[in-house]
Structure 1
Amino acid sequence: MRGTATSSTAAAAVAVAVAVAVLLCFEVAGVAADASDHRYKPEDPVPLYANKVGPFQNPSETYRFFDLPFCIPEHVKEKTEALGEVLNGDRLVDAPYKLDFRVDFDSKLVCKKTLTKEDVAKFRNAIVKDYYFQMYYDDLPIWGFIGKVDKEGKADSSEHKYYLYRHIHFDIRYNNDRVIQINIHTDPHAIVDLVEDKEVEVEFLYSAKWKETTAPFEKRMEKYSQSSSLPHHLEVHWFSIINSCVTVLLLTGFLATILMRVLKNDFLKYAQDEESVDDQEESGWKYIHGDVFRFPNNKSLIAACLGSGTQLFALAIFIFILSLVGVFYPYNRGALFTALVVIYALTSGIAGYSSTSFYCQLEGTNWVRNLLLTGCLFCGPLFLTFCFLNTVAIVYSATAALPFGTIVVIFLIWTLVTAPLLVLGGIAGKNSKAEFQAPCRTTKYPREIPSLPWYRGTITQMAMAGFLPFSAIYIELYYIFASVWGHRSYTIYSILFIVFIILLIVTAFITVALTYFQLAAEDHEWWWRSFLCGGSTGFFIYGYCLYYYYARSDMSGFMQTSFFFGYMACICYAFFLMLGMVGFRAALLFVRHIYRSIKCE
């Protein structure tokens, strides 16, 4: 009764934590600009923030807007940003332009500035690297390029001309008292030739034109999601789903054949030959029933892996729920990062409960050490990776470097929310008094595993297990990478959720199939093998990272390369833990089922 009550309390605590996470994410998603209702009267000031600049091909390598020698206002006011915005690398400041509501003007002077040799060198370097700038006008994102390179058919780069755009035109559309759309154009004739080692005097100008539109305010963000929902893109997405569904059907049919025919024959054979078969003639999965439920080596580590995998699985599910209800609309600054931090912190109790409960089922005694291992298993590598990459960003003076205050906030979240919930979940798991429920008794001494061919080895089995789930998702991976490591918007979350479900099904099925073949070969050490096979898709995804970086993207430079491979390693590690948990749970259910169906002495 005490274990049941504790489990109920833990479940209630988890439900409350999830509810709080959802509410916090909705609250964060609703954060708006200074004009909270987005309604203006003629000649009212509309908030315009300059965000960042950086090489177009390197999305992680971004710098503050005024790191380039633009016209700096007398009083640069920084916008107070939410946690997710800072994690996203946003550093918003008041732009040097003033665009009052419904006020048209031509060629207004921002400033007249003499660019020193150092300023010219900075702008030339930015133009060579194809720098873009980003701003937000009434929470609507806008982009533009710094300048252009005129090669004029000359192969020698020293003969190229570098032009700086000095006139920006804002084309703004409004509906009654609200801003609906904004586009930015650079005047190709208003340019400055930046000659190396020479000072240049520049007049920075801008203009604005307002036009009325009938588009409703509620649909003003649809413009940014259209590129991902174009007909030819939808065809590719649906082709990906059809390809994945075919994989699932084939694999399901294959497994159905195993379960319905092979296992049925095994059951009949073992029932008939139960008393007549000599020990020397024994073969098959039944005759290792005394070893198949022998607890694995490093049971604290496998319990920690299952706990972390369960937490990451819960995190993925809640993120999908929020995305399907429309929280993560395009360029909702930092909402996704805030949701990841908050939900991960609040679901740490799930990791503690799952890990400690399973560890106690395996008759483990040092549950405190197991709980510490669970807490550090994913956060530890992520923290070390962050420390290295944040140091790189600091050296580059990039906006990806987190301020000290943000690091303190994250540390406080970990110490005041994540750690206590992890401990509470661990205590609840320890007091749950759940039993392992093995259908067969385990012998005192383990049976010797026969010599097996190379294709039944762990590495080979992992390669087989990871290929099919990866083949079911690889088409969708390109669009995800283009969104995370590029400038596209991913908005078709319903299709992504279907692909995620297919990934889970294929992972579970292929792990069960390989577990059966392993047991049929009288190899009873299936515990770690099933987890490794289930999680092997993470290695394939990391292999795709290499392909994407060198074949599908133009990213370059030490900072961008380290950020890409560093954070993708953490993401693939998360997939390894999550899918490993799915594969192990499926294999455990399968093994329990088949050994419960036969009579074991």
Structure 2
Amino acid sequence: MEKPMAILVFTVLMLWCASKVRSDASAHRYKAGDSVPLYANKVGPFHNPSETYRYLDLPFCSPAHLKEKKEAFGEVLNGDRLVSAPYTLDFLVDKDFEVVCKKKLSKKEVGQFRTAVMKDYYFEMYYDDLPIWGFIGKVDREGKSDPSDYRYFLYKHMHFDVLYNKDRVIEVNARMDPHSVVDLTEDKEVDAEFMYTVKWKETDTPFEKRMEKFSQNSSLPHHLEIHWFSIINSCITVLLLTGFLATILMRVLKNDFIKYAHDEESADDQEETGWKYIHGDVFRFPKHKSLFAAALGSGTQLFTLTVFIFLLALLGVFYPYNRGALFTALVVIYALTSGIAGHTATSFYCQLEGTNWVRNLLLTGCLFCGPLFLTFCFLNTVAIAYSATAALPFGTIVVIVLIWTLVTSPLLVLGGIAGKNSRTEFQAPCRTTKYPREIPQLPWYRSTLPQMAMAGFLPFSAIYIELYYIFASVWGHRIYTIYSILFIVFIILLIVTAFITVALTYFQLAAEDHEWWWRSFLCGGSTGLFIYGYCLYYYYARSDMSGFMQISFFFGYMACICYGFFLMLGAVGFRAALLFVRHIYRSIKCE
């Protein structure tokens, strides 16, 4: 326990110190007339959150002295590319119709802007670390049914309303003047004069609460009502499943124990039936034990990663618009917990009497990282082809490779060595016979795929309501901050997964099918497949995403996330089933 706690403390300190995003004026205190940092970040189609471009990829006015802000590691992973904006918002200085620039837009530039307006491009800026959004233009569809008759307009006048409290900026809002526009409908050169207005207003809101307004949306009574309905729905599922499992344990198993005890007293040569009949095979090691141990190790690591992320979220590290903190946490904690994967996989592999522990360690290191790396290579190539900000710079890729080489791999090897040296014999309450018994012919619904479908449906039904809000936050523009509710849902997911896996394992053993090892892992992890199925529903029914890049990013990275859930919940399901199987066979007399 000491090692994980040390890792957690180190991670918390690292994230608090390194990943908090601050402006150049790190104290956030200004005097009248001081320059407050304003950075333009990116533009992109509103409905395609992954497809973002640099702000100046569109022919906006460039500032006289263009300055690129050096982003933190997590910001780069988040696709942020900040440059100094063409607007000047000095502290407490009002401005009225200040001209940014006058420029003649060429036919090519008109076409660029028209395409952007057609795709509902939005812009994102940061003023003293406060986000600013707005659309760059509008489409006039009124009274026109034919898209060829639509008219396209570019906004050229922006109003900034800035609230301050003494010497600090509290809030900033930007709105576009719908009457000050440039007509982009025709392919011809047009003159554009870009202007802005700044109005300062005093407020009593303290600086410490200036980010609260961004988290209020997910805390509104309507949304809280839905969140709590989700939890009640999940709790009912848990109670029903717990009652169902309690019935099995208290009645069916009790009857089994009485029956087997009576059989032992009445006739020693009486033929055994049910799960006792296969006591000599139930602890026979599974096929492909190296892969099984690697999956268990990777799943345990991802479970640890998830728990640490929740702890950081509950500590308030991931407050709204702490740009890149989550990505930094994921990379750092995954690297630091790789030793857990190595130790778990190798120690279990040695318990299963495996001999080639080095190959098992390599398999553990590649089982999750391998598919993730291949997916990243493909998607990064797509982003490069689109010239999107999602394409990671070469320097960031080098940093990731160095983290994997200097932190992840050494800790994985050290964990593997520790697991090999601390190996113990597998604790089996029954002796395993030399030759396996033949598994009887079972009906189709007792085969692996139907069992996985049943095992995955119940946990998924307990979390599907909450999934929409998570997807709307990750793949949209909503802000999710109710981490306490999400943590409760996560606990419920673990409980339901463990319970349903135990129940199905009992039914499998009662049918005298002793190959439960892989089945329990697959049944536990099958919820990940249901979540990926929900991705299809969300994309086609609940979102307006489109385009090859967005489709690739959505389904590519969601495949990796769902695969991670499969490994994590599979490990939880197997651990629960193993405890159950050991318990019931320890409770009877087996010869």
> Does TM, normalized by the shorter one, top 0.5?
yes
Q: Deviations over 1:503-544 (max 9, x none)?
A: 000000000000000000000000000000000000000000
Per the alignment, residue 217 of structure 1 pairs with: 207
What secondary structure is seen at the aligned counterpart in 1 of 2:378? helix
Measure how far apart 1:14 and its partner are: 3.9
Matched, 1:530 2:515: no
Asked if 1:190 is matched to 2:171, the reply is no
- The answer to whether residue 130 in structure 2 is matched with residue 140 in structure 1 is yes
Report if the CA contact (8 A) 1:28-1:338 is conserved: no
Matching residue of 1:460:
450
Note the residue ranges of structure 1 that are not aligned, 5 or more in a row.
Answer: 1-10
Partners of 1:82 and 1:521 in 2: how far apart?
57
SS of the equivalent of 2:172 reads strand
* Residue among 332, 344, 348 paired with 2:338: 348
For the pair 1:420 / 2:410, whether they are aligned, the reply is yes
- State the distance in 2 between where 1:159 and 1:207 align: 33
Q: Hey, what does 1:8 align to over in structure 2?
A: none
Counterpart residue identity of residue 154, structure 1 = K
Alignment map for 1:67-106 (pairs within 5 Å)? 67-106=57-96
Matches within 5 A, 1:149-188: 149-188=139-178
Query: Are 2:19 and 2:74, in contact at CA under 8 Å, matched by a contact in 1?
Result: no
Give the match's secondary structure for 1:274. helix
1:309–1:579 Cα contact (<8 Å) kept: yes
Select 2:110's aligned residue among 109, 120, 141. Answer: 120
* Equivalent position SS for 2:44: strand
Q: 1:111 aligns with which of 101, 106, 120?
A: 101
The one of 370, 394, 397 equivalent to 1:404 is 394
1:256 Cα shift?
0.5
CA distance in 1, matches of 2:169, 2:463: 39
Is the CA contact 2:31–2:91 (under 8 Å) kept in the aligned structure 1?
yes
The residue number in structure 1 matching 2:281 is 291
Aligned 8 A contact 2:19 2:328 in 1: no
Q: Cα deviations across residues 286-319 of structure 1 (Å, max 9, x unaligned)? A: 0100000000000000100010000000000000
> C-alpha separation between the residues in 1 aligned to 2:427 and 2:460?
33
8 A contact 2:40–2:83 mirrored in 1: yes
Question: What is the DSSP-based 3-state SS (H/G/I as helix, E as strand, rest coil) of the residue aligned with 1:69?
Answer: coil
Instruction: Please give the alpha-carbon distance, in whole angstroms, between the structure 2 residues aligned to 1:346 and 1:520.
Output: 42
**Contact residue 14 and residue 349 of structure 1 kept, 8 A:** no
Q: Shift of the alpha carbon at 1:223?
A: 0.7
Report how far residue 159 of structure 1 moved.
Answer: 1.6
| Cα 1:347/1:294, change in 2 over 3 Å | same
Partners of 1:53 and 1:339 in 2: how far apart? 26
Superposition pairs of residues 152-551 of structure 1, within 5 angstroms: 152-274=142-264, 281-551=271-541
- Does the CA-based 8 Å contact 1:29-1:327 persist in structure 2? no
Structure 1-normalised TM-score? 0.97
CA–CA distance in structure 2, aligned partners of residues 331 and 31 of structure 1:
9
Q: What CA distance in whole angstroms lies between the structure 2 residues aligned with 1:181 and 1:575?
A: 38
The answer on whether the counterparts of 1:18 and 1:347 sit within 8 Å (CA) in structure 2 is no
In 2, Cα distance between equivalents of 1:597 and 1:12: 34
Aligned-pair distance for 1:281?
4.2
Q: In the aligned structure 2, how far is the partner of 1:102 from the partner of 1:108? A: 15
The answer for the alignment partner of 1:4 in structure 2 is none
1:574 partnered with 2:564: yes
Aligned twin of 2:546:
556
Using the alignment, how far apart are the partners of 2:287 and 2:277 within structure 1?
Answer: 21
Aligned 8 A contact 1:173 1:211 in 2:
yes
Shift of 1:73: 2.0
Give the Å deviation of 1:16.
Answer: 2.8
Rounded Cα–Cα distance in structure 2 between residues aligned with 1:422 and 1:43: 54
Once the two structures are TM-superposed, the CA of residue 129 in structure 1 deviates from its matched residue by 0.2
Which residue of 1 is the match for residue 28 of structure 2? 38
Deviations 1:75-107 (A, max 9, x none): 321101111000000000000010000000100
Alignment of 1:19 with 2:9, yes or no, is: yes
Q: Distance in 1 between matches of 2:249 and 2:154?
A: 69
Distance in 2, matches of 1:110 and 1:347, equals 50
Deviation at 1:283, TM superposition (A): 1.4
Native 8 Å contact 1:285 1:522 kept in 2: yes
- Specify the SS of the correspondent of 1:149: strand
Inter-partner Cα distance in structure 2 for 1:554 and 1:106: 38
CA distance in 2, matches of 1:584, 1:266: 23
1:340-378 C-alpha deviation (Å, 9 max, x unpaired): 000000000000000001001101010000000000000
Normalising by the residue count of structure 2, what TM-score does the alignment of the two structures yield? Answer: 0.99
Distance 1:188 1:65 in 2: 21
CA–CA separation in structure 2 for the residues paired with 1:279 and 1:356: 42
Amino acid at match of 1:228: S
Write the distance in 2 (CA, Å) between the matches of 1:195 and 1:521: 71
List per-residue Cα deviations over 1:88-143 (Å, max 9, x = no partner): 00000000010000000100000001100000000000000000000000000010
Whichever residue aligns with residue 523 of structure 1, its letter is D
Structure 2 counterpart SS, 1:273: helix
Deviation at 1:276, TM superposition (A): 5.0
Equivalent position SS for 1:486: coil
Counterpart CA distance in 1 for 2:367 and 2:224 is: 38
Judge which range, 493-502 or 32-41, deviates more: 32-41
Contact 1:315/1:343 (<8 A) preserved: yes
- Whole-angstrom distance in 1 between the partners of 2:268 and 2:101: 97
* Residue identity matched to 2:52: T
Amino acid at match of 1:32: R
Give the secondary structure class of the aligned counterpart of 2:550.
Answer: helix
User: 1:387-444 deviations in whole A, cap 9, x for unaligned?
Assistant: 0000000000000000000000000000000000000000000011222110000000
The offset of 1:12, in angstroms, is 4.3
C-alpha separation in 2, matches of 1:550 and 1:515: 36
CA RMSD of aligned residues (A): 1.1
**1:600 corresponds to 2:577:** no
Q: C-alpha distance in 1, partners of 2:184/2:423? A: 75
Mean alpha-carbon deviation: is it higher for 206-215 or for 274-283?
274-283
What one-letter code is carried by the residue in structure 1 that aligns with 2:332? Answer: V
User: CA contact under 8 A between 1:168 and 1:184: conserved in structure 2?
Assistant: yes
User: Separation in 2 of the partners of 1:504 and 1:14?
Assistant: 20
Q: Confirm or deny: 8 A CA contact 1:18 1:346 kept in the other structure.
A: no
Q: Structure 2: give runs of 5+ residues left out of the alignment.
A: none
Rounded Cα–Cα distance in structure 2 between residues aligned with 1:549 and 1:280: 59
Give me the whole-angstrom Cα distance separating, in 1, the residues matched to 2:49 and 2:18: 24
Residue 31 of structure 1 and its aligned partner are, at CA, apart by 3.5
